[in-house]
Amino acid sequence: MRDISMILKSVWKSLFVFSAVTVMAVSTVSAQDAKEGRTLFRAKCSSCHALDAKLVGPALTGVSDRHSEEFLLKWIPNSQGMIAAGNPEAVKLFNENGKVAMTSFPELDEEKVKSILAYIKEGEPKAAVDPSVVKAGGGESGTSGLSIAGIVAIVLVGILILVILGRASKLLERLILQKQGIEIEEDVPLKVGVRKMFKNKKFVMFFILCLVIALGSWGWMGMWNTGVHTGYQPVQPIKFSHELHAGINQIDCQYCHNGAFKSKNATIPSLNVCMNCHKAVQARDNYDGEISPEIKKIYNALGYDPETQQYDKSKEKPMEWVRVHNLPDFAYFNHSQHVVVAEDAIRKAKGLQPTEPVCFACHGPVNTMEEIYQYSPLTMKWCINCHKETDISGQKNNAFYAKVIEAHEKIKKGEKVTPALLGGLECGKCHY
C-alpha cells in the first residue's frame, strides 16, 4: 500500500516537473520570438507601420485577427506579387489603403514572419517604470526652490530665537535688579526712541550717507543693466526643450536653424521642419498612449489630422514664437559671417570642444537648456571685447584675409593699388 502511494507520488512529481519545464520552455520560446520579431519589425516594418497608429500603412495591432496566418505568411514577403496575381483578399487590402504598394520582403522567411507576428500579438514590452526616473525631470528645480525656502526658514527661526533669548535675559536682569532694590527706569516706547535718535545730527548724517550709497549703487547697476537682456527667458507657445532635441537627441543646431550658415538670420524653423520627425514621433509612451499635448499643438497649428494624415489648409495658423535675442535696429549682426568665416577663430578664442557647435560660443550650453534663455549680454561692450581679443592670425583658407594680404603685398612692392581692390566697388560703399 505504502509502495503504491510512493510510486503515485513520484509520478505526480515528475509529471508536475515535466509540465512546468514545458510551460517555461514554450513561454521562453515565444518571448524569444517576440524579441526577435521586435528587432525585425523595427528594421523592416516601422518606417511605414506602427502598432497602434496609422502611419503610411495601417496600424498592425490585431492584424492576426483580421487576416489568416496563411495569408500573412504569403503577403508580407511578396505583397506586390499577390496583387499582381489577383488574389481577392490582397487586392481588397491594396484598395482599402489608398493603393499604396507595400515593399516586398523576399528575405523574410516563414520563421521570421512568424516572430514578427508574435511581436505584434504581444505588443511593445512594457518598460518597468522607475518612479525615481520619472520624477527626476521636474524634481530638480523644485529642490533648489525648496532649499532656498529652507535657508530662509532657518534664518527666520534663528532671528526669532535670538529675540526670545534677548527678552528673557533682559527680564532676568530686571528681576535681579529688583531684588537688589534698585530703581528701574521704565522703557521708553519705540516711537519716541526712534524720534530721539533722529534728533541726533550725527546719526542722521550717517543714515543719509548710507541712503546715498544704497540708492546710488542701485541706480548705477540699474543703468548698466538697462536694455541688457541676459537671462531673458520668455514663455514660448510650445514647451520646446533644447535639452531634449539638441542634448539627448543630438540633432545639429543647423537642422532647424538652417539659416545660420547662409544668412544674417539664423531663422526660426517653420512647422514643416518639426513634422519631418513629429509625423512619426508622438511621445505616446509618456502620455498613456495619447499624443503628447505639446506635439498636438504643432498638429493644430498646421491643421494636421494624425488619424487621416491629411493637412487642412483652412485651419492653419502661425506659431507665434517669442523672440529671445533682440538686437536693436541700429546694430547689424550677421550669423553666417561669424559661424562660417570666423568659425575657427571663435572656437579657439572661446575654447570650444570639437564636439561642441560653434554656436555655443555666444548662445551658451544650449544642449542643457530645457527652456531657452539669453546667455550672453549682447551689448556693444561684449561685441567689442571679443573683436579686440580674438586672434585671427594664421587664417589660411580665408578669402577675405587673402585679399587684404594681396593688397598689402602690392603696396610693399610699390605697385598701383586702387579702391576697387579694397572693396571700393561694393554696392554698399555708395548705396545704403
Nearest alpha carbon to residue 311 among 295, 293, 320, 298 = 298
Among 132, 226, 310, 393, binds other proteins (CB under 8 A): 226
- Give the range of 161-169, 233-241, 360-368, 407-415 binding other proteins by CB under 8 A: 233-241
Interface with other proteins, residue 368, by CB under 8 A? no
Interface with other proteins, residue 200, by CB under 8 A? no
Q: Which residues contact 196 (CB under 8 A, 6 or more apart)?
A: 188
Among 17, 85, 171, 248, binds other proteins (CB under 8 A): 248
Please name the residue that has the C-alpha cell 523595427: 42
Interface with other proteins, residue 105, by CB under 8 A? yes
Angle at the Cα of 208 from the Cα atoms of 206 and 209, rounded to 5 degrees = 65
Nearest alpha carbon to residue 238 among 269, 260, 263 = 269
Interface with other proteins, residue 308, by CB under 8 A? no
Among 235, 399, 420, 430, binds other proteins (CB under 8 A): 235
> Beta partners for 305?
310
Interface with other proteins, residue 114, by CB under 8 A? no
Rounded distance between C-alpha atoms, residue 87 and residue 72, angstroms = 12
Interface with other proteins, residue 222, by CB under 8 A? yes
**Secondary structure, 3-state, 116-160:** HHHHHHHCCCCCCCCHHHHHHHHHHHHHHHHHHHHHHHHHHHHHH
Among 47, 141, 368, 385, binds other proteins (CB under 8 A): 47
Residue list 398-427, contact with other proteins (CB under 8 A): none
Residue 52 gets which letter from DSSP? S
- Within a 10 A sphere around the Cβ of 300, how many other Cβ atoms? 13
Burial class (CB in 10 A: 0-12, 13-18, 19+), 113: buried
Residue list 275-294, contact with other proteins (CB under 8 A): 275-277, 279-281
- Give the range of 45-53, 68-76, 173-181, 344-352 binding other proteins by CB under 8 A: 45-53
- Give the range of 110-118, 132-140, 260-268, 292-300 binding other proteins by CB under 8 A: 260-268
Among 143, 180, 250, 353, binds other proteins (CB under 8 A): 250
Taking the complex as a whole, the smallest distance from the CB of residue 175 to other proteins amounts, in Å, to: 36
Angle between helical axes of 201-225 and 190-199 (0-180°, round to 10): 90
Residue list 131-150, contact with other proteins (CB under 8 A): none
Distances (CA, A) of 354 to 349, 350, 365: 13, 12, 14
382, amino acid identity: W
- Within a 10 A sphere around the Cβ of 335, how many other Cβ atoms? 19
Taking the complex as a whole, the smallest distance from the CB of residue 249 to other proteins amounts, in Å, to: 6
- Give the range of 25-33, 224-232, 400-408, 416-424 binding other proteins by CB under 8 A: 224-232
Rounded distance between C-alpha atoms, residue 234 and residue 232, angstroms = 6
Interface with other proteins, residue 162, by CB under 8 A? no
Among 142, 150, 166, 234, binds other proteins (CB under 8 A): 234
Among 119, 360, 373, 375, binds other proteins (CB under 8 A): 373
Count of chain residues binding other proteins (CB under 8 A)? 64
- Give the range of 89-97, 287-295, 313-321, 358-366 binding other proteins by CB under 8 A: 313-321
Interface with other proteins, residue 103, by CB under 8 A? yes
Helix/strand/coil for 305:
strand
Interface with other proteins, residue 325, by CB under 8 A? no
Helix/strand/coil for 304:
strand
**Helix, strand, coil: what percent of the chain each, to 5?**
60, 0, 40
Rounded distance between C-alpha atoms, residue 423 and residue 306, angstroms = 54
The site for other proteins (CB under 8 A) is made up of 42-48, 55-56, 101, 103, 105, 107, 195, 198-199, 204, 207-208, 211, 214-215, 218, 221-222, 225-229, 231-235, 248-252, 254-255, 258, 265, 267-268, 270, 272-273, 275-277, 279-281, 318, 320-321, 323, 326, 328-330, 373
